[in-house]
Amino acid sequence: MRRRDEKGSTIPLILGLATVLLMGIALVINASSAYLQRQSLDTLADGAALRGADLGAAGVYGEGLTQDRLLQESGAVRKVVIAYLESVGADHTYPGLEVQAQVNVVDRSVTVVLSAPVKPPLHLPGSPTRPVVTATSTAAVTMQE
- Does residue 82 lie within any of the structural domains? yes
- Does residue 5 lie within any of the structural domains? no
Q: Which domain holds residue 91?
A: 11-140
**pLDDT at site 55:** 75
Residue 142: C-alpha distances to residues 3, 56, 70 (Å): 85, 10, 7
- Does residue 47 lie within any of the structural domains? yes
- Does residue 42 lie within any of the structural domains? yes
pLDDT tier for residue 64 given thresholds of 50, 70 and 90: low
- Does residue 1 lie within any of the structural domains? no
Q: How many domains does the chain have?
A: 1
**pLDDT at site 70:** 55
- Does residue 3 lie within any of the structural domains? no
Spell out a b/e string for 43-61, using b for 16 or more CB atoms within 10 Å of the CB, else e.
ebbbbbbbbbbbbbbeeee
- Does residue 106 lie within any of the structural domains? yes
Mean pLDDT of 43-64: 76
What are the φ/ψ torsions at residue 82 (nearest 5 degrees)? Answer: -65, -45
The pTM is what? 0.76
Mean pLDDT of the chain: 83
- Does residue 114 lie within any of the structural domains? yes
Mean pLDDT of 92-118: 86
**pLDDT at site 62:** 58
